[in-house]
Structure 1
Amino acid sequence: MVASRRAATRGASPALVTGIRTALAVIGVALTGVLAALGVASAHMARRVVTPASRVPDTHILALDTGAQTITLSRTPDTELPGRYGLFTTGTADYVKVGSVLAEDARSVTRKLLTHVGSTSRLSPDAAFSGWYYSHPEELHLPFSPELIGSAVGPCPAWLFPAGEGDTWVIQVHGRGTNRAECLRAVPLFHSLGITSLLVSYRNDGEAPRSRAGTYALGATEWRDVDAAIGFARRRGATRVILMGWSMGGAIALQLALSSAHRDIIAGLVLDSPVVDWRLVLDYQAGLLNVPPLVSALAIEALQHDWASPLTRSGAGIPFDRLDALARASELRHPILVLHSDDDGFVPSDASHDLVVARPDLVELQVFDVARHTKLWNYDQDRWARSITDWLGRHDLVGE
């Protein structure tokens, strides 16, 4: 066979042989280029996943009527939502509250301002729409104290809102790219039920200390800082701890339920728009950004390995298998309430539905529509509060 190929080659014209060699060389260069491009794109995506995100403008202020106290925003799936929200901007105010939609057309929505904006105020056009609503603890008009939680990376700031007899606590865990102010919305409800609230920070969130790599581990390391907060609560008299996680905070809460040294006092989990399976979320977000599936797969593969960490800048491999609460559903031991919108738009609700199927004995899912990601309180506060209150009551978790 080899001899026949050699003979065929010897019989070919020099021009043909040269052409074949040139074509092979071009193909080789092209393949190298494609592989290099895939590698660069995958590394870029991987870095985006683990790099703490700064707030990115997602809407524009089109008009500001300080007489009528209204604001007109470019229309997006978020800015058209009913309810009350926050708006991050720059200028004479860095954050304003907005209320109901007063008028709308194909390109814009006009909403009521709930923060007074004076006639001489100037707001920059670029703004970021938010479900936070409250931005500072003083806005709740409830007693609170600033605290520091000792963790392996250093002291992590927290806010403590005492309530009831102090034996039942809820520890609130914020999501990716935000901070503990995201959780302020939930404090009045828990306070009314006699449950002390502790709103915590964790490594690399902009308030807690920075880890050596300075990047997120998607819950694989951050849970240890929140575990230290459970220990803090225990030392302060807590005998039952409820974990409430928002988005990536849900992934952190699930890791605590699986791995915490204080699992004996964890009484249950409340998860708002949670990440249950990171691979599903990353694939979904890659699709939204029109990232080819191969690039997404390569990025997730690279993030899993220590050898790729210089490229991904993750500091270490991220254990996606360990973070997959759906695959580990049989290990769960605590009752879980999941609140998730099927129109989340950022973290698909599929894994939340699947978690109920996997553990119907432990997991209850309240499905919302339209409400979008972590904006369930804003969209339908009454239903959100009723769902949590009823669930706490059924599990005898209302404070004394």
Structure 2
Amino acid sequence: MNAPRRAARRRAPHPAAAPARIVLTALTAALGFSATALAAVSLRMARTVVTPAGRVPDVQLLALDAAAQTVTLGRTDDTVLPGRYGLFTTGTLDYLRLGSVVKDDDGSVTRKLLTHVPADAQLAPAAAFSGWYYDKPDDLQLPFRTALIGTPVGPCPAWEFPAAVDSDVWVIQIHGRGTTRSETLRAVPVFHDLGITSLVVSYRNDGEAPRSRTGTYALGATEWRDVDAAIGYARRQGARRILLMGWSMGGAIALQTEFSSPHRDVIAGLVLESPVADWRTVLRYQGGLMRLPAPVLGFAEQILDSDWGAVLTGSGSAIPLDRLDAVARAAELRHPVLLLHSDDDGFVPSDASHALAAARPDLVQMETFAVARHTKLWNYDEERWTRAIQDWVRAHGLTTVA
């Protein structure tokens, strides 16, 4: 006799199962959304790094006193600094030279104007504080001529300031990211007094030189070829010993030229002002200022350093961050280097500069400043900055002027 078949019974769901599934689904969706959001932030950061941008207002012009020839600005870490500076404005005038601080309080700084402003001047409140001081070559009151330097992307404009004495020593001035060659004019009188010809150059995608195919920065990985062309130009004009002076990203370009140029036999040394010696150090510092989580920074670096990321950023090719790390490549340096950097830079941290100096004490001399901000060492302490360059140039036998 067959045993009676047991009726199949379906186990009832646990009362907590449904809410748990809802929570798990919501959590999965939230994590997916967060990952997407973080990836979007990483992509935006990567695009910002390689995309040339115009000057961005960073200070408020609060008051203009034409009678006293003073201007009052919102207080920032930069506007309160001693020294001479510049201010980009819009209105009656587009650029003002600024002198010493007259007075300051918790919210504002009043500085003496070194550019005459008429009584009826109208200036917009949005302005940009600058270390340029000189904004055009005529301001230096030194003889100069314009030149066009043939480069892989086309003719790049340059200013040539001949030495007052016969000399085969030239210096090529290389400006930083988001600026133009006027940034480097502060250094021209220093080298002129040393009997050195200055060639102030532009490079691809800086707003003055021709645009590359993609119109993006390669952070020094391709821009060095334009500087290499400038070395060729200088050689044809009689230069036999050539210094490279790079400012900020211009420092990265100068270092890549040192590593890669076929003209290395005529490079006599490098002077680097607030330089980018390693882009990862800069990216992580900037990410910290923006309070971005580590995964965002890491993914931004992957985007920059990959071919698939180049498609997303429009850069055309990967940014070789390893190749741009001058600290890791310190053994490849062949010429003396003078580093000028402030520990209070505020934009490009001095860590990589210190590391480079520690890696090659036989070639690298570092002058460390404090308080001064990014590429504003001349402005903050012109006497010390000038003396550091003069002493270094003389120590390496690169001047014929006593």
TM-score, normalised by the number of residues in structure 1 = 0.95
* CA distance in structure 1 between the aligned counterparts of 2:37 and 2:245, rounded to whole angstroms: 41
* CA distance in structure 2 between the aligned counterparts of 1:34 and 1:119, rounded to whole angstroms: 55
Q: How does 1:109-124 map to 2 (within 5 A)?
A: 109-124=109-124
* CA distance in structure 1 between the aligned counterparts of 2:246 and 2:182, rounded to whole angstroms: 13
- The answer as to whether partners of 1:285 and 1:346 remain within 8 angstroms in 2 is yes
* CA distance in structure 2 between the aligned counterparts of 1:294 and 1:315, rounded to whole angstroms: 24
- The answer as to whether partners of 1:52 and 1:216 remain within 8 angstroms in 2 is yes
Q: Displaced runs of 4+ in structure 1, greater than 2 A?
A: 14-28
Give unpaired runs (5+ residues) of structure 1.
1-9
Cα offset, 1:12, TM superposition: 5.7
Cα offset, 1:309, TM superposition: 1.5
Cα offset, 1:92, TM superposition: 0.4
Cα offset, 1:151, TM superposition: 0.7
CA 1:329 to 1:119, structure 2 compared with 1: closer, same or farther past 3 Å? same
Secondary structure in 2 matching 1:392: helix
Secondary structure in 2 matching 1:207: coil
**1:140 paired to 2:140:** yes
**1:58 paired to 2:52:** no
Matched residue type, 2:65: D
Structure 1 residue aligned with 2:218: 217
**If you compute each CA radius of gyration, which structure gives the higher value, 1 or 2?**
2
Structure 2 residue aligned with 1:312: 313
* CA distance in structure 2 between the aligned counterparts of 1:23 and 1:382, rounded to whole angstroms: 66
- The answer as to whether partners of 2:302 and 2:309 remain within 8 angstroms in 1 is no
CA deviation string 1:269-328 (max 9, x = no partner):
000000001000011011112222211111011110011122222221100000000000
Secondary structure in 1 matching 2:155: strand
- The answer as to whether partners of 2:342 and 2:369 remain within 8 angstroms in 1 is yes
Cα offset, 1:26, TM superposition: 2.2
Structure 2 residue aligned with 1:155: 155
Matched residue type, 2:246: G
* CA distance in structure 2 between the aligned counterparts of 1:324 and 1:397, rounded to whole angstroms: 28
Cα offset, 1:28, TM superposition: 2.4
CA deviation string 1:177-229 (max 9, x = no partner):
00000011111111111100000001110001111111111101100111100
- The answer as to whether partners of 1:90 and 1:124 remain within 8 angstroms in 2 is yes
* CA distance in structure 2 between the aligned counterparts of 1:191 and 1:238, rounded to whole angstroms: 15
Structure 1 residue aligned with 2:99: 99
Secondary structure in 1 matching 2:56: coil
Cα offset, 1:27, TM superposition: 2.6
Cα offset, 1:29, TM superposition: 1.6
- The answer as to whether partners of 1:193 and 1:398 remain within 8 angstroms in 2 is yes
**1:330 paired to 2:331:** yes
Cα offset, 1:390, TM superposition: 0.2
Structure 2 residue aligned with 1:233: 234
Structure 2 residue aligned with 1:287: 288
Aligned residues: 391
Structure 2 residue aligned with 1:359: 360
Cα offset, 1:14, TM superposition: 6.9
* CA distance in structure 1 between the aligned counterparts of 2:167 and 2:224, rounded to whole angstroms: 23
Secondary structure in 1 matching 2:323: helix
Matched residue type, 1:62: L
* CA distance in structure 2 between the aligned counterparts of 1:209 and 1:15, rounded to whole angstroms: 69
Structure 2 residue aligned with 1:198: 199
Give unpaired runs (5+ residues) of structure 2.
1-9
- The answer as to whether partners of 1:86 and 1:129 remain within 8 angstroms in 2 is yes
Cα offset, 1:18, TM superposition: 4.4
Q: How does 1:339-350 map to 2 (within 5 A)?
A: 339-350=340-351
Cα offset, 1:19, TM superposition: 4.2
* CA distance in structure 1 between the aligned counterparts of 2:301 and 2:365, rounded to whole angstroms: 30
Cα offset, 1:20, TM superposition: 4.4
Q: How does 1:6-85 map to 2 (within 5 A)?
A: 11=11, 13=13, 17-85=17-85
- The answer as to whether partners of 2:310 and 2:317 remain within 8 angstroms in 1 is yes
- The answer as to whether partners of 1:168 and 1:399 remain within 8 angstroms in 2 is no
Matched residue type, 1:361: D
Matched residue type, 2:214: A
CA 1:323 to 1:12, structure 2 compared with 1: closer, same or farther past 3 Å? farther
Matched residue type, 2:128: A
**1:130 paired to 2:130:** yes
Secondary structure in 2 matching 1:233: helix
Q: What is the aligned-residue RMSD (CA, Å)?
A: 1.3
CA deviation string 1:238-296 (max 9, x = no partner):
00000000000000001111111100000000000000010000110111122222111
* CA distance in structure 1 between the aligned counterparts of 2:11 and 2:218, rounded to whole angstroms: 61
% identity of equivalent residues: 65
Secondary structure in 1 matching 2:284: helix
Cα offset, 1:39, TM superposition: 1.1
- The answer as to whether partners of 2:184 and 2:200 remain within 8 angstroms in 1 is yes
* CA distance in structure 2 between the aligned counterparts of 1:244 and 1:259, rounded to whole angstroms: 16
Structure 2 residue aligned with 1:90: 90
- The answer as to whether partners of 1:149 and 1:228 remain within 8 angstroms in 2 is yes
Secondary structure in 2 matching 1:318: coil
Matched residue type, 1:379: Y
* CA distance in structure 2 between the aligned counterparts of 1:12 and 1:194, rounded to whole angstroms: 94
Cα offset, 1:17, TM superposition: 5.0
Structure 1 residue aligned with 2:265: 264
- The answer as to whether partners of 1:167 and 1:399 remain within 8 angstroms in 2 is no
Structure 1 residue aligned with 2:7: none
